[in-house]
Every structure is written in C-alpha cells, then in structure tokens.
Structure 1
Amino acid sequence: MTSWADGLRLVDHHCHSVVGHALDAAGFGALLTEAPVPAGDPWDSMLGLAVRRVCAPVLDLPRHAPPADYLARRAELGTAEATRRLLAATGTDALLVDHGLHAGELLGLAELAEAAGAPVAEVVRLEAVAEDVAASGVRPDHYAVTFVEELARRTRTAVACKSILAYRYGFDVPPQRPAPAAVAAAARCWRREGGRLRDPVLLRHALWCGIDRGLPLQLHTGFGDPDEDLHRANPVLLTAFCRATAATGTPVVLLHCYPYHREAAWLAQVFPHVWFDVGLASTYVGHRAAEVLAEALELAPFGKLLYSSDAFALPELYLVAARAFRRAVDRVLGGWVAEGEADGDDVRRIAAMIAGGNARSLYGVS
C-alpha cells in the first residue's frame, strides 16, 4: 500500500559506507546486529524480519522470502547490482558519511556516490584525526597545535565533525576546555602507553577543537555496540557541555539517542544550537519505529529533528531505515491529521523538514 510519505526525499545526515565484496551467510548475518558475536540466528530479530519484508522485493523475491533464498538471489545478482538496487530504492538525495570506521573494508566515498546515484559528503571523526596525529610521532608539547592544523586540513571539504566520546570514555567528563598544560601532559602519557585514544583530557580537547572548527559537531549517543557503557552515553549528561558551548554558535548534533530520545528532545528544545535524530534505532526496532518517532516529537521543535540511517556495511540497512522512517511518519503525522491536531499541508511541510529540509539548512547541502 502506498502512502503520501513514500514521496519524501531524504538527506541521510549520518551514515557509513557499504562493503563492495561478496558476503557469505555468516558475514552477512554478523552485520545484522550491533553485537560482536550474534546471539543466536541474527535473522530472528526485528531487523532480520525487516530485511526479508522490505528488501526482498527489490531483489525480485516475494516479501518474507526465507534467508537462504534471499542470500542466494543476492549472490546471483552480484554485490554491485544488489547494492545499486537497494540504495536507489531509498529515495535519498544526499549522504553525509562518517568514513572513520573500517574504511579499508568499505567502498570509498566516490565509489559510494556512484553506487547510490547521489552526492556524498564527509563527516570527519575527531578521534581518528587524533590517533593519526599521535602516530606521526609529534612531540607531546606540539600535539595540540598539530591536531588543530590536521583537523583544519581534513575538514576543508567536510560538512561536519564527529566524536565517539560515548564509546571511548562516556559523557561524564568536565565540560570545560582543558588547559594547554593538561593536554601536553596527557599527550605525554598517551605517547608512553599507546593504544586507542581513551584519555578524557585529550577527548575533551578534540571535542573543543571540533567546536572551534565551527562545523556541526555530531556526537554518538545512546544505543550502540558493547564498547560503550550505555548509561554513560545518555545525552542528558551533555547538558553542561551544551551550556558551555551555547555562545559559540557551533551546532551540536546528537546522533541516534535511543533509548534516551526524550532527553535529547529536551536538549534540542532548551538549547538553540542542539539538533538530534533517532537514526539506528528505527532500523532495529522494526514496527515500533512509529512509537520512537512519536516520543521524539513530544518536545522537539520540528526544525531540530533530522533523518539518519546510521547504516553500516549492508546497503539493506539504508533501505530498512528509509522505509521504517516513512512508515513512522505516515502513522504518527498522518495520525495528527486524522485526529484533527494538524492539517495535511502542515503535516507534509513538517515531514519534509525532518526528512531532508532541516539537514539541508544545517549542513548547507544543496
């Protein structure tokens, strides 16, 4: 059944690239979950059901085709053709891509743009920049300046920066900019100990450098893989940081947010420079995506909510997210019309804002 929401054009303001090689059953199944090792059959999940329902017809299979049939047809078409079909079916006009996760295993940005038939812009991950600067052998007392210079170079054509502070430490850090002496001391310890960036002083330094850069600063919040402590990824813990950065004018964009999407909506309401999305969750919660969207819209100004898929590796995830979003919009905003809360023109305007208009304005995407 078609819906007025099917015509919405999307700007996916946060996603990742896709694999360009063939996947066996185990490899495909591993990408249907955020868990490092799937618990049971990954197809037996809301996401697994959604792939069979939404993606199978795009590959010329009946809805709800068995997983074995789906994977056989995908292999028959080939990875490139399956990817092209699935991405084209999303109705996406632009993709803003964080390419800082397993980049060597995924299509490059130009290749992704060709596969999607849509322009791609880059979101630069702050922690990846920091780790490359540290690996260059820079002296600890020169680390701060070198980081700023390298960030400026890498973001010359980017549309946003991003932090994964939630994964590397958590949001329960002091909100203030760290002092130069503290940054140098932390860089000295990191150089001695090595490993991924987990020092809270250097993570805060990167965060503030992102604010200084002036591009929208995306922060992963809420639901994710077990590298994070979920209770420390609650965006409400960023309240003091939002207060401290309000005067800068740099947009702070809270990604995903579930199950803390109501807290994120409150932050977007009370701070003029805060935006948010409920991406990723809509992919995984299946038919409950409408409830998540409805809860996000309880407090959020309509101009502060964005669409994202946070799709990673599988093009199926782009399509499942897009269909879940349109279905949720139809049920929630269409319900407002049915109940007399809004008229059809207003609902269509609001839906178009969330689907892509807000992102176009925020990131300057044409």
Structure 2
Amino acid sequence: MEGLPPLVDHHCHGVIRYAPDPGTFAAFLTEADRPPAAGTTFFDTQTGFAVRRWCPPLLGLPAHCPPEEYLARRRALGPDETRRRLLSATGIGAYLVDTGLPGDLTGPAETAAAGGATGHEVVRLETLAERTAAGYRGSAGAARAGEFADTLAGAVRTVAATAVAFKSVAAYRHGLALDPRPPGPDEVRTAARAWLAAGAPRLTDPVLLRHLLWLAVATGRPLQLHTGFGDPDLRLDHADPALLTDLVRATADTGTDLVLLHCYPYHRQAAYLAGVFPHVYADVGLSLTHTGPRAAAVLAEFLELAPFGKLLFSTDAYGLPELYVVGSALFRVALGEVLGGWVASGAWSAADARRVGAMIAAGSARRVYGLAGGGDGGGGEGAGT
C-alpha cells in the first residue's frame, strides 16, 4: 500500500549473528521443531515461497531463484551485510524486540541499527522469573520463597522503567484458561516454594504464571499475550484468545492495555475481544507471514469486527532478517488489496483508507506504547522518531 508511514513492528525477535547452514536456515521458515518429512523441504511452504519472492532482489538475484542459489549469495555477502541489506529494505521505523529467547541474537539496538530505525525492549515475563530464580534453587532457596517473591516483584518494577511492554507465553506454559484473579501472597509463596525446591525448572505453575500477569498489569505497561498458533510446545486449543475473556474483564479498569498476538486461526475471536473491550488490541503478526498470498483474506477477516484503531502490525520475525522483509511486504500488499478493494467498491473513501492504513501500520502502536510520533491518525511520523 502506498503512502504508509514507517512501520512500527510492535512484536519481533532478534536476528542470528552467524551464517546459518541450509538446514538451519530452512528451520526458521516453519513453526515445526523437527526436520521436514523425508522428500520434503520447508522451502515448500507459503513462508518459503514468500522468502524466494521478496528477498533475492534485495541481494542482487532474480525473484523466485532456487534456494541453493539464494543461500550461496547470502554466504558470499556474510551475515552482517545480508542483515543490513534486508532490514534496511523493510520500511520499519521502530522495532519492539522481545528479548526473552535464547541464542546468539541481536538485541533491540543492534537490530534497529541494521535497519536505520529505533529499537525498544519487550520483556518476557517467564524468562524474567526464571532468571530471578537462579539464586533461589533447591531446598535452601525454597526456604526463602517469600524473599524470592519480593525480589521478583521488584525485578518487574525495575524493568518496567525502561521496557516499552511485557510479554507472556502462558499459552505455551499452561494454556490461556487461567484463573483470572490475582493470587494471594500465601498462594504465591506456596507455589514458589514448590517450584524452587524442584530446582526452578521451566515455569509452568499456573499460580506463578498468573501472578506474573498481575505484576505486569500493576506497572501500567502494555501486556502482550501470545495467542493462536506456534510451535508444537503449544496446545492450539488451549491458545484460543476467547479463553482470556474472564482475565480481560478482570483487567478492564486497571489502565493497562492487553495486546493479543498472532491470533490465527482464532483471529475472529481476537477481533471480537478488541471490539467489545476498550483495553484490548489485536495483532496480525505471524498470521500474514505464514499465509502468504492468502494474507489479504486473513487481514480482511481481522477487519470484519476489530475497530480499525485496535489492530496492530508486527512481523514476529525471529532469527532471519528475511522474515522481517516477508512480514512487512505481505502486510503492505494485503493492506493495499483489502483497503483498495473497499475503495474501488465505493464502501470506503480513499482518504479514509489512507488514514486507517496509517493507524494499523504505525499510529496505533505509537499511541499504545507511548512512542514518539504517536496519535490516532498515525500519518505523520518518520523513521527514527
């Protein structure tokens, strides 16, 4: 779509600093956590085809060139130059980076610098809790469960001073059907004692998960919640955003916005929640990247019910700079197709289409996250503001 402001990628991840081998590269094209079936390749997916459509010309190759030719060119350029060329072509002006994933990944500042943009941190709650627990593991640590709970609360408040948002992956760790009430201090200490005594493994305890949510809500920072599809660590039916309805009601008067990430295939449920609760927003990230030329249909379904100022853009890109390119390109094409079609039919004016497009692309995210250049119209901000 023409005339959009620089995009605000309000939820994404770092980029690998090393040159991946072909198998590693292809693994980033899918949410699967295992190799492809014999005789198949992850390049034969909508994401793989989109990479071959949009990325080769940015590295001096023809669109749709064979994967091996593209990967050879990538190796010749090296990871730094590849990252610079690809990210600088996305049209993204601000990156809000979830720093909770492990690995040799670029942080917010490094990611943004490669694309000539600004970077901001989104703190993953479960990762923060697991790091905080490092000094409390085992029976000795369990005896200090109350101290741990105080330290964790302090850690959340501390990072809230610099992070633009929090993010929870409770959908992976337990599912979204959580008790919506904030747990009491005794509940928290009991759950923490058991978790720490077990060595503080991966956090899955529902009491501590919802405690983290309420700690984040208390800061007033926006809270991003993974919903919808993801890797096989997830039970998809446990990630339906409609399961959050009671929590949404419970947080309605807190002053904290909830942002439902990804949502697919439950994007209509997410659009409904955004439509009836003022503090709920929905996000198209990941949905468009994995649906390729069907992205316009998915975006149109989001816009059936979601108020236009409640839908945010993101790529959810992780590992490969190519996924930033694909996410932003598919968004622009899908938005142009959907809104342009409505203008052509006479349902919308061209001016309204431009205004709504700017809100989805950047304006609403700048308002929700308190970024410079915010405002409901979202039409005037520039890169790096």
Q: TM-score normalised to the size of structure 1?
A: 0.97
Q: How large is the RMSD of aligned CA atoms in angstroms?
A: 1.0
1:225 equivalent in alignment to 2:245: no
Secondary structure of the equivalent of 1:12? strand
Aligned partners of 1:51 and 1:158: how far apart in 2?
31
Contact 1:161/1:210 (<8 A) preserved: yes
Structure 2 gaps, min length 5: 373-385
Structure (1 or 2) with the greater helix fraction: 1
2:63 is matched with 63
1:151 is matched with 156
Shift of 1:364: 1.1
Q: What amino acid is the match of 1:79?
A: P
Secondary structure of the equivalent of 1:247? coil
1:78 is matched with 78
Shift of 1:345: 0.5
2:253 is matched with 247
Q: What amino acid is the match of 1:178?
A: P
1:176 equivalent in alignment to 2:181: yes
2:307 is matched with 301
1:166 equivalent in alignment to 2:171: yes
Q: Deviations over 1:285-308 (max 9, x none)?
A: 100000110000000001100000
Shift of 1:27: 1.2
Contact 1:127/1:203 (<8 A) preserved: yes
Return the match for 2:355 from 349, 353, 366: 349
Q: TM-score normalised to the size of structure 2?
A: 0.92
Shift of 1:30: 1.2
Q: What amino acid is the match of 1:269?
A: G
Aligned partners of 1:55 and 1:144: how far apart in 2?
47
Alignment of 1:128-139 (within 5 A): 128-137=127-136, 139=144
Q: What amino acid is the match of 2:6?
A: R
Shift of 1:259: 0.4
Q: Deviations over 1:236-281 (max 9, x none)?
A: 0000000000010100110000000000000001101001111101
Return the match for 1:358 from 339, 364, 373: 364
Aligned partners of 2:110 and 2:307: how far apart in 1?
36
2:377 is matched with none
Shift of 1:8: 4.3
Secondary structure of the equivalent of 2:252? helix
Q: Deviations over 1:35-60 (max 9, x none)?
A: 11132301111111111110011111
Aligned partners of 1:216 and 1:179: how far apart in 2?
23
1:115 is matched with 114
Aligned partners of 2:35 and 2:267: how far apart in 1?
26
Contact 1:8/1:326 (<8 A) preserved: no
Shift of 1:131: 0.8
Aligned residues: 362
1:336 equivalent in alignment to 2:342: yes
1:20 is matched with 17
1:44 is matched with 44
Aligned partners of 2:278 and 2:244: how far apart in 1?
14
The structure 1 segments of at least 4 consecutive aligned residues displaced by more than 4 Å after TM superposition are none
Secondary structure of the equivalent of 1:27? helix
Aligned partners of 1:70 and 1:155: how far apart in 2?
41
Shift of 1:154: 1.9
Matched-pair identity in %: 56
Aligned partners of 1:228 and 1:306: how far apart in 2?
23
Alignment of 1:80-119 (within 5 A): 80-102=80-102, 104-119=103-118
Contact 1:277/1:305 (<8 A) preserved: yes
2:381 is matched with none
